[in-house]
Chains A and B, each alone.
Chain A
Amino acid sequence: MVELLKRLTETDGVSGNENKIRELIKEEITPYVDNIHIDNMGNLIAFKKGTKEHPKKIMLDAHMDEVGLIITYICDNGMLKFGTIGIDQRVLLSKRVLIGGKVFGVIGVKAIHLQEKSERENVIKQENMYIDIGASSKEEAEKLVKLGDYAAFTTEFEEIGNGKIKAKALDDRAGCGVLIETLKESYPDDIYACFAVQEEVGLRGAMTASYKINPDIGIAIEGTTCSDVPGADEHMYSTVMGIGPAISIIDRSSYSSKEIVSALIDTAKSCNIPYQIKRTMTGGNDAGIIQLAHEGVRTGVVSVPVRYIHSPVSMMDIKDYENTIKLIKEFLRKGVL
């Protein structure tokens, strides 16, 4: 399970460039599903037939894409300008990226010795940053990268502390991992596992996937904000690490269907799975899109708490991850609603 997470998080797949991660996931799930379809947006949709006689259609969604950068301009001096995809500009300074899957670059910042006092207190705007790939001219840079190349962080997966892991892209490779593990068993209802693209640029993949699938029920599986850190008030933690998967009642993109929320909570209680209710309304996810497909879909959101999402390095508790898998499996085993 942990080994899969390592491969999932260390594979690059910035929104719009999910080829590698899609290939990896496809290989992982092929033995367990009845068929696989890749749609016009690049969503990977796997179908697994249900065992009961009149199965419902359940769409499980986890997004494959991660936040990252895209090269927008090559300067005469060989430096690269970039655009951000889902990232807060303040986490960028002094980080390493991998461009186009092969070229290392660094986002440098002027040495502190060379800065004025006032400069040190101000945020450096993203428009003033650049990636240095060690090229000394535009021509040299053009041999290595091209406009539109995507760049992802180079963070390595590692176990840390007591039963935790740190990696990039736990939002939402954690969700992808949960979905892959879930597909290894059979359930009463038909499962459409959608590994969606471009969630980070506006929940885009889910739009076409949910149109195509037209499910009865949809569950988005996310890696969500966990802010139980110094400087945050308790009610602003959003979720707390280590106390189980988070069930959302209301978030930025949808109000979860009450029946689904009750069913999830009942499942957690009856199977002794720790769980929590997400405390803030922050964060949008694919459930918001799925809910409005065709004539309406009952939806819910289950998330693994992840600290520091949308930054180069995030952290998760393995127990939370395992309990999320357990919750989804048990929920499906009951033969939903």
Chain B
Amino acid sequence: MDTLEFLSKVNNLAGISGYEKNVASITADIFKELCDDVEVDTFYNVIGKKSKKIGGPKVMLAAHLDEVGMMVTDIDDKGFVKFTGIGIDQRILPGQEVRIHGSKEVLGIIGAKPPHLQKPGESDKAIDIKDMAIDTGMSKDELIQLISIGDPITFKSPLIKMNDKMISGKSLDDRAGVAVMIEAMKELDKLNYTGEVYFVATSQEELGSHGAKISTFKISPDVGIAIDVTHGETPDAPKERTCVIGKGPAIGIGPNMHPILTQKLIDTAKEYGIDYQSDVIPGRSGTDAWVMQVSKDGVPCVLVSIPLRYMHTTVETLNIDDVKKAARLIALFIASLKEEKEWLSY
């Protein structure tokens, strides 16, 4: 299954933080074709293990499976569904199509007041999420048979191909990262590597990397590689905080990432002529690397990110080549790691 197929398949699957069961199960099936051993833990982390030759470091890769979404908070007497956002920019909501995941999947739309009915100046203010509602076209009595408070809601936003490189859809943050892991598994098969490699499709990253926290504790790796997305450039965003789409994966630099390990990753990119960009992060990286780094007595980490525009929206956009380059870089990097860890010492 190639990157595009994988992303098309998982795009349709709902998995907000905590509710990744389905997407975890499908991902586990795909991992099983490429890993020696696959487990889905209680928190829906998918953990695939690969090993070719023993006697090397324990490496853990992490890319999160959960997506941003919403949750039902109330159903009013007229059958309109009130909701709260889990990681959402509320400005993208009016006019969206959504799916409510109750005992059955219910389609709904987040209504937007037509311009004809708006007061002067009303269109200059963002609508607050608490004033929005989802219209399912059903009455309250019909609806409460199917959904209840606390049910997750995801966007309906199928993956589209814009040209032969660029794709757009929801949840590319961070299923694109999981796609990188799958490609990396294939790349690794072509190389001589030692040690054990754990590929973890983590859960609940959007709530604070909860899945990564507990899976890192369980696995106790020697080295961590977090794979996430970073902001791709757009005309309205400052250049110093974005990366260029299509110019290769971004390598994170800053206190969250181990300096010697990061330099080794950069050297690997240079040695094999793989495009990469530098992404300087002064503090919290906002990725699984943040919790991995301080697990137990510490895990040296690196961060590889795919440049992506319009993060946390239904039209997240990236270049598939960046995914492939990231996978290749990571595989070559893993193959370069040796057992002796003195080179990592400060």
Contacts and interface: CB of A to CB of B under 8 A. Distances in A.
Q: Do chains A and B touch in the complex (CB under 8 A)?
A: yes
Contacts of A71: 280
A207 B299 CA distance: 12
B241 A208 contact: no
Interface in A12-46: 15-17, 19, 22, 38-42
Given A40-B300, A72-B240, A22 B346 contact: yes
Interface hub of B255, B259, B346 (most chain A Cβ within 10 A): B255
A294 to B, nearest CB: 11
A39 B297 contact: yes
B282 interface: yes
A72 B296 contact: no
Contacts, number: 72
Interface string B276-289: 00101111100000
Nearest to A208: B298
A148 B238 CA distance: 17
Contacts of A17: 255, 259
A188 interface: no
B253 interface: yes
Interface string B330-346: 00000000000000111
Nearest to A127: B238
B204 to A, nearest CB: 20
Given A85-B255, A201-B255, A70 B294 contact: no
Chain A interface size range: 20 to 34
Given A15-B255, A22-B346, A81-B240, A147 B294 contact: no
A41 B240 contact: no
Contact of A41 (B238, B241, B284, B294): B294
A42 B260 CA distance: 11
A275 B253 CA distance: 42
B284 A201 contact: yes
A72 B280 contact: yes
Nearest to A65: B255
A283 to B, nearest CB: 17
Contacts of A207: 294
Given A16-B255, A73-B239, A40 B280 contact: no
Given A148-B253, A201-B255, A85 B283 contact: yes
A204 B292 CA distance: 11
B293 interface: yes
Contacts of B294: 41, 204, 207-208
A111 B253 CA distance: 34
B57 interface: no
Nearest to A197: B255
Contacts of B299: 40
Contacts of A202: 283-284
Contacts of B255: 15-17, 85, 198, 201, 204
Interface in A181-216: 198, 201-202, 204, 207-209, 211-212
B254 interface: yes
Interface string A60-86: 000000000011110000000101110
A15 B239 CA distance: 24
Given A72-B282, A73-B240, A208-B296, 9 more contacts: A15-B283, A22-B346, A40-B300, A41-B298, A70-B280, A72-B241, A83-B280, A84-B282, A208-B298
15 contacts: A15-B283, A16-B255, A16-B259, A38-B345, A39-B298, A40-B298, A70-B282, A73-B239, A73-B280, A83-B280, A147-B253, A148-B253, A201-B256, A204-B294, A207-B294
Interface of B: 238-241, 253-256, 258-259, 278, 280-284, 293-294, 296-300, 344-346
